[in-house]
Amino acid sequence: MVNTVTPAELADLLQSTDVDLIDVRERDEWEALHIEGVRLVPLADFRADPEAVIVRGRVTVFICAKGVRSMSAAKLAERFGYENLFNLEGGTRAWADAGLPTAAARVAA
């Protein structure tokens, strides 16, 4: 089962649990803004080989801009038999709107 987690719930979860954050957006979106500690795995790459990405037995939270692509990734992981799956409700937009910490990739000049 894929669970939905709000930005505030995820912030609390990150304080108490070892969580694998997987951002399924494209690189340019991730470079503009992302949650610290997240792994970038674009959705097309994830779909090509989900088992190369997910660690069994670990809490995994999928993230995208608004929560649509990440839910697709989470449901695919569920079909592969993974558990402890979460989707960030509202994605990075909701996370940033909640005033939670974000990062941007630094581009070399």
pLDDT tens digits for range 42-60: 999 999 999 999 999 999 9
Q: Reduce the DSSP state of residue 69 to 3 states and report it.
A: helix
Q: Which CATH number do you get for residue 9?
A: 3.40.250.10
Asked, for residue 81, whether it belongs to a domain, the answer is yes
**Would 65 be classed as within a structural domain?**
yes
Average pLDDT over residues 26-51: 96
| Helical segments of 1-109, H only | 7-16, 27-32, 43-48, 68-79, 91-97
105 part of a folded domain = no
| pLDDT at 69 exceeding the cut of 60 | yes
Q: Which of 9, 6, 24 is nearest to 74 (CA)?
A: 24
Model confidence at 104, pLDDT cuts 50, 70, 90, reads: confident
Residues spanned by the domain of 75: 2-97
- Would you say residue 28 lies in a domain? yes
Work out the pLDDT band at 109, boundaries 50, 70, 90: very low
Residue 107 token pair: 């581009």
Q: Mention every residue, 6+ apart, whose C-beta is less than 8 A from residue 93.
A: 65, 66
Would residue 106 count as lying in a domain?
A: no
Number of domains in the chain: 1
Report if residue 103 sits inside a domain.
no
The Cα–Cα gap between 63 and 86 comes to 9
